[in-house]
Structure 1
Amino acid sequence: MTTSMLNPEDAARCRRSLAEEQTASLAATDDWAHVDRDRVHRDWHELYSEIAAAITAGARPQDEPVQELVGRHYAIASRFYPPSRDAYLGMALRYAEDDAMREWHNSYHPRMVEFLGGAMLRYAETRL
Protein backbone atom coordinates (compact mmCIF):
# COMPACT_ATOMS: atom_id res chain seq x y z
CA MET A 1 0.00 0.00 0.00
CA THR A 2 1.20 3.50 -0.79
CA THR A 3 0.02 6.95 0.18
CA SER A 4 -1.56 7.27 -3.27
CA MET A 5 -4.13 4.77 -2.04
CA LEU A 6 -5.43 7.11 0.68
CA ASN A 7 -8.96 8.22 -0.05
CA PRO A 8 -9.29 11.91 -0.95
CA GLU A 9 -10.82 12.91 2.40
CA ASP A 10 -8.06 11.21 4.40
CA ALA A 11 -5.37 12.70 2.17
CA ALA A 12 -6.85 16.19 2.59
CA ARG A 13 -6.98 15.73 6.38
CA CYS A 14 -3.33 14.65 6.41
CA ARG A 15 -2.21 17.61 4.28
CA ARG A 16 -4.15 19.96 6.57
CA SER A 17 -2.64 18.38 9.72
CA LEU A 18 0.87 18.78 8.34
CA ALA A 19 0.28 22.45 7.50
CA GLU A 20 -1.33 23.22 10.86
CA GLU A 21 1.27 21.40 12.96
CA GLN A 22 4.21 22.89 11.06
CA THR A 23 2.77 26.40 11.31
CA ALA A 24 2.22 26.06 15.05
CA SER A 25 5.67 24.59 15.59
CA LEU A 26 7.40 27.29 13.55
CA ALA A 27 5.62 29.99 15.54
CA ALA A 28 6.41 28.37 18.90
CA THR A 29 10.10 27.74 18.18
CA ASP A 30 11.25 30.88 16.37
CA ASP A 31 11.30 29.07 13.01
CA TRP A 32 12.83 25.92 14.50
CA ALA A 33 15.82 27.78 15.94
CA HIS A 34 16.46 24.79 18.23
CA VAL A 35 17.25 22.46 15.32
CA ASP A 36 20.85 21.74 14.29
CA ARG A 37 20.11 21.86 10.58
CA ASP A 38 23.57 20.73 9.47
CA ARG A 39 23.24 17.62 11.64
CA VAL A 40 19.72 16.97 10.35
CA HIS A 41 20.89 17.19 6.73
CA ARG A 42 23.76 14.79 7.42
CA ASP A 43 21.38 12.39 9.15
CA TRP A 44 18.84 12.57 6.28
CA HIS A 45 21.64 11.85 3.80
CA GLU A 46 22.86 8.83 5.75
CA LEU A 47 19.33 7.49 6.24
CA TYR A 48 18.25 7.96 2.63
CA SER A 49 21.42 6.25 1.45
CA GLU A 50 20.54 3.27 3.64
CA ILE A 51 16.95 3.21 2.38
CA ALA A 52 18.18 3.37 -1.23
CA ALA A 53 20.40 0.37 -0.56
CA ALA A 54 17.43 -1.49 0.95
CA ILE A 55 15.32 -0.75 -2.13
CA THR A 56 18.09 -1.98 -4.41
CA ALA A 57 18.41 -5.15 -2.32
CA GLY A 58 14.71 -5.90 -2.80
CA ALA A 59 13.33 -4.87 0.59
CA ARG A 60 9.63 -4.15 0.97
CA PRO A 61 8.18 -1.14 2.82
CA GLN A 62 6.58 -3.37 5.45
CA ASP A 63 9.76 -5.34 6.22
CA GLU A 64 10.87 -4.89 9.84
CA PRO A 65 14.37 -3.59 8.95
CA VAL A 66 12.73 -0.96 6.73
CA GLN A 67 10.31 -0.06 9.50
CA GLU A 68 13.31 0.47 11.78
CA LEU A 69 14.75 2.86 9.19
CA VAL A 70 11.42 4.67 9.07
CA GLY A 71 11.53 4.91 12.86
CA ARG A 72 14.79 6.82 12.41
CA HIS A 73 13.06 8.97 9.78
CA TYR A 74 10.31 9.82 12.25
CA ALA A 75 12.90 10.57 14.95
CA ILE A 76 14.75 13.00 12.66
CA ALA A 77 11.49 14.71 11.70
CA SER A 78 10.63 14.93 15.40
CA ARG A 79 13.66 17.14 16.01
CA PHE A 80 11.52 19.89 14.50
CA TYR A 81 8.31 18.73 16.24
CA PRO A 82 6.74 15.29 16.80
CA PRO A 83 4.23 14.99 13.95
CA SER A 84 0.92 13.33 14.59
CA ARG A 85 -0.03 10.28 12.58
CA ASP A 86 -1.94 12.45 10.11
CA ALA A 87 0.83 15.04 9.79
CA TYR A 88 3.38 12.28 9.21
CA LEU A 89 1.26 10.94 6.37
CA GLY A 90 0.94 14.52 5.13
CA MET A 91 4.72 14.62 4.97
CA ALA A 92 4.74 11.50 2.79
CA LEU A 93 2.15 13.11 0.54
CA ARG A 94 4.27 16.26 0.28
CA TYR A 95 7.27 14.18 -0.81
CA ALA A 96 5.15 12.81 -3.67
CA GLU A 97 3.29 15.97 -4.63
CA ASP A 98 5.92 18.70 -4.36
CA ASP A 99 8.19 18.63 -7.42
CA ALA A 100 11.33 19.76 -5.59
CA MET A 101 10.79 17.33 -2.71
CA ARG A 102 10.11 14.44 -5.07
CA GLU A 103 13.19 15.23 -7.15
CA TRP A 104 15.43 15.55 -4.09
CA HIS A 105 14.23 12.30 -2.51
CA ASN A 106 14.34 10.40 -5.79
CA SER A 107 17.92 11.56 -6.33
CA TYR A 108 18.80 8.83 -3.81
CA HIS A 109 16.86 6.18 -5.72
CA PRO A 110 14.30 6.52 -8.53
CA ARG A 111 11.69 4.71 -6.38
CA MET A 112 12.48 6.50 -3.11
CA VAL A 113 9.30 8.56 -2.83
CA GLU A 114 7.02 5.66 -3.71
CA PHE A 115 8.85 3.25 -1.40
CA LEU A 116 9.20 5.70 1.48
CA GLY A 117 5.54 6.69 1.18
CA GLY A 118 4.47 3.07 1.58
CA ALA A 119 6.89 2.56 4.45
CA MET A 120 5.70 5.72 6.21
CA LEU A 121 2.09 4.64 5.77
CA ARG A 122 2.83 1.27 7.37
CA TYR A 123 4.77 2.94 10.19
CA ALA A 124 1.94 5.41 10.86
CA GLU A 125 -0.68 2.66 10.84
CA THR A 126 1.23 0.40 13.21
CA ARG A 127 3.28 2.69 15.44
CA LEU A 128 1.68 6.13 15.63
Structure 2
Amino acid sequence: MGLQQTTPDYLDQCRSAQRAEQEQSLASTDNWAHVDKLQVHADFDAVYQELAPLIDANVPESEAIQALMEKHFAIVARFYVPSRDAYVGTVLFYADNADMKAFHNAYHPRMVEFLGDAAYTYALQNLQ
Protein backbone atom coordinates (compact mmCIF):
# COMPACT_ATOMS: atom_id res chain seq x y z
CA MET A 1 0.00 0.00 0.00
CA GLY A 2 1.36 3.40 -0.98
CA LEU A 3 0.66 6.92 0.09
CA GLN A 4 -2.04 7.24 -2.57
CA GLN A 5 -4.14 4.67 -0.71
CA THR A 6 -4.03 6.52 2.61
CA THR A 7 -6.62 9.03 3.74
CA PRO A 8 -6.29 12.80 3.45
CA ASP A 9 -6.65 12.96 7.25
CA TYR A 10 -3.63 10.69 7.70
CA LEU A 11 -1.58 12.77 5.27
CA ASP A 12 -2.51 15.94 7.18
CA GLN A 13 -1.55 14.20 10.44
CA CYS A 14 1.87 13.42 8.94
CA ARG A 15 2.36 16.98 7.71
CA SER A 16 1.45 18.32 11.15
CA ALA A 17 3.82 15.90 12.91
CA GLN A 18 6.67 16.90 10.60
CA ARG A 19 6.10 20.62 11.15
CA ALA A 20 5.82 20.26 14.93
CA GLU A 21 8.85 18.00 15.34
CA GLN A 22 10.96 20.09 12.98
CA GLU A 23 10.03 23.34 14.74
CA GLN A 24 10.89 21.83 18.13
CA SER A 25 14.20 20.56 16.80
CA LEU A 26 15.13 23.86 15.18
CA ALA A 27 14.37 25.71 18.41
CA SER A 28 16.35 23.33 20.61
CA THR A 29 19.43 23.03 18.37
CA ASP A 30 20.07 26.64 17.32
CA ASN A 31 18.65 25.96 13.85
CA TRP A 32 20.48 22.64 13.50
CA ALA A 33 23.90 24.10 14.26
CA HIS A 34 25.11 20.54 14.95
CA VAL A 35 24.48 19.40 11.37
CA ASP A 36 27.21 19.42 8.73
CA LYS A 37 24.89 20.61 5.98
CA LEU A 38 27.43 20.23 3.16
CA GLN A 39 27.95 16.60 4.12
CA VAL A 40 24.19 16.05 4.39
CA HIS A 41 23.67 17.39 0.88
CA ALA A 42 26.47 15.19 -0.45
CA ASP A 43 25.01 12.15 1.29
CA PHE A 44 21.48 12.83 0.04
CA ASP A 45 22.92 13.24 -3.46
CA ALA A 46 24.66 9.88 -3.18
CA VAL A 47 21.43 8.15 -2.09
CA TYR A 48 19.41 9.80 -4.86
CA GLN A 49 22.08 8.94 -7.47
CA GLU A 50 21.83 5.32 -6.35
CA LEU A 51 18.03 5.33 -6.16
CA ALA A 52 17.20 7.01 -9.47
CA PRO A 53 18.26 4.17 -11.80
CA LEU A 54 16.35 1.65 -9.66
CA ILE A 55 12.97 3.37 -9.78
CA ASP A 56 11.72 1.97 -13.08
CA ALA A 57 12.68 -1.65 -12.31
CA ASN A 58 11.73 -1.92 -8.62
CA VAL A 59 8.79 -1.49 -6.31
CA PRO A 60 9.11 0.73 -3.24
CA GLU A 61 8.86 -2.35 -1.00
CA SER A 62 11.83 -4.12 -2.60
CA GLU A 63 14.83 -5.01 -0.48
CA ALA A 64 17.17 -2.82 -2.53
CA ILE A 65 14.91 0.22 -2.22
CA GLN A 66 14.29 -0.29 1.48
CA ALA A 67 18.06 -0.49 2.07
CA LEU A 68 18.36 2.92 0.45
CA MET A 69 15.47 4.23 2.53
CA GLU A 70 17.38 3.15 5.63
CA LYS A 71 20.23 5.38 4.44
CA HIS A 72 17.76 8.19 3.66
CA PHE A 73 16.24 7.98 7.13
CA ALA A 74 19.70 8.03 8.73
CA ILE A 75 20.50 11.26 6.91
CA VAL A 76 17.18 12.83 7.93
CA ALA A 77 17.88 11.74 11.52
CA ARG A 78 21.02 13.88 11.63
CA PHE A 79 18.68 16.83 12.05
CA TYR A 80 16.31 15.07 14.50
CA VAL A 81 14.94 11.55 14.76
CA PRO A 82 11.45 11.85 13.32
CA SER A 83 8.50 9.78 14.40
CA ARG A 84 6.82 7.55 11.84
CA ASP A 85 4.33 10.26 10.95
CA ALA A 86 6.97 13.01 10.80
CA TYR A 87 9.15 10.95 8.48
CA VAL A 88 6.20 10.44 6.14
CA GLY A 89 5.55 14.18 6.52
CA THR A 90 9.09 14.86 5.36
CA VAL A 91 8.53 13.17 2.02
CA LEU A 92 5.14 14.85 1.74
CA PHE A 93 7.00 18.14 2.13
CA TYR A 94 9.13 17.15 -0.87
CA ALA A 95 5.92 16.80 -2.88
CA ASP A 96 4.18 19.88 -1.49
CA ASN A 97 7.07 22.33 -1.90
CA ALA A 98 7.65 23.26 -5.55
CA ASP A 99 11.40 23.80 -5.12
CA MET A 100 11.88 20.53 -3.25
CA LYS A 101 9.81 18.67 -5.83
CA ALA A 102 11.84 20.10 -8.70
CA PHE A 103 15.11 19.32 -6.89
CA HIS A 104 14.18 15.68 -6.25
CA ASN A 105 12.54 15.08 -9.61
CA ALA A 106 15.69 16.31 -11.36
CA TYR A 107 17.16 12.92 -10.38
CA HIS A 108 14.21 11.05 -11.91
CA PRO A 109 10.79 12.35 -13.06
CA ARG A 110 9.04 10.06 -10.55
CA MET A 111 11.50 10.52 -7.67
CA VAL A 112 9.14 12.38 -5.32
CA GLU A 113 6.24 9.99 -5.86
CA PHE A 114 8.48 6.94 -5.52
CA LEU A 115 10.25 8.34 -2.44
CA GLY A 116 6.86 8.93 -0.85
CA ASP A 117 5.81 5.32 -1.24
CA ALA A 118 9.24 3.97 -0.29
CA ALA A 119 9.46 6.15 2.83
CA TYR A 120 5.90 5.21 3.79
CA THR A 121 6.82 1.53 3.56
CA TYR A 122 10.01 2.13 5.54
CA ALA A 123 8.14 4.06 8.21
CA LEU A 124 5.45 1.42 8.65
CA GLN A 125 8.04 -1.34 8.94
CA ASN A 126 10.65 0.40 11.10
CA LEU A 127 9.32 3.43 12.99
CA GLN A 128 6.85 4.11 15.73
TM-score computed with the length of structure 1 as normaliser: 0.95
SS in structure 2 of the partner of residue 96 of structure 1: helix
Q: 1:29-71: CA deviations, max 9, x gaps?
A: 0000000000000001110000002114x01110011101000
Which residue is equivalent to 2:106? 107
The verdict on how the C-alpha distance between 1:95 and 1:2 changes in structure 2, with shifts beyond 3 A counting, is farther
Q: Which letter does structure 2 place at the counterpart of 1:33?
A: A
For 1:39 and 1:85, locate their aligned partners in 2 and report how far apart those are by CA, in whole Å.
Answer: 24
User: How far is 1:98 from its partner?
Assistant: 1.2
User: How far is 1:116 from its partner?
Assistant: 0.8
Q: After the TM superposition, which residues 84-103 of structure 1 pair with which residues of structure 2 at under 5 Å, given as runs?
A: 84-103=83-102
User: In the alignment, does 2:64 pair up with 1:71?
Assistant: no
Whether contact under 8 Å (1:2, 1:114) holds in the other structure is no
Which residue is equivalent to 1:37? 37
- Count residues in correspondence: 127
TM-score computed with the length of structure 2 as normaliser: 0.95
For 1:114 and 1:16, locate their aligned partners in 2 and report how far apart those are by CA, in whole Å.
Answer: 20
For 1:91 and 1:67, locate their aligned partners in 2 and report how far apart those are by CA, in whole Å.
Answer: 16
Whether contact under 8 Å (1:60, 1:66) holds in the other structure is yes
RMSD: 0.9
User: How far is 1:12 from its partner?
Assistant: 1.0
For 1:107 and 1:28, locate their aligned partners in 2 and report how far apart those are by CA, in whole Å.
Answer: 33
Q: Which letter does structure 2 place at the counterpart of 1:26?
A: L
SS in structure 1 of the partner of residue 68 of structure 2: helix
For 2:65 and 2:35, locate their aligned partners in 1 and report how far apart those are by CA, in whole Å.
Answer: 25
Q: 1:78-113: CA deviations, max 9, x gaps?
A: 000000000001111111111111110000000101
User: How far is 1:3 from its partner?
Assistant: 2.0
For 2:122 and 2:111, locate their aligned partners in 1 and report how far apart those are by CA, in whole Å.
Answer: 16
Q: Which letter does structure 1 place at the counterpart of 2:12?
A: A
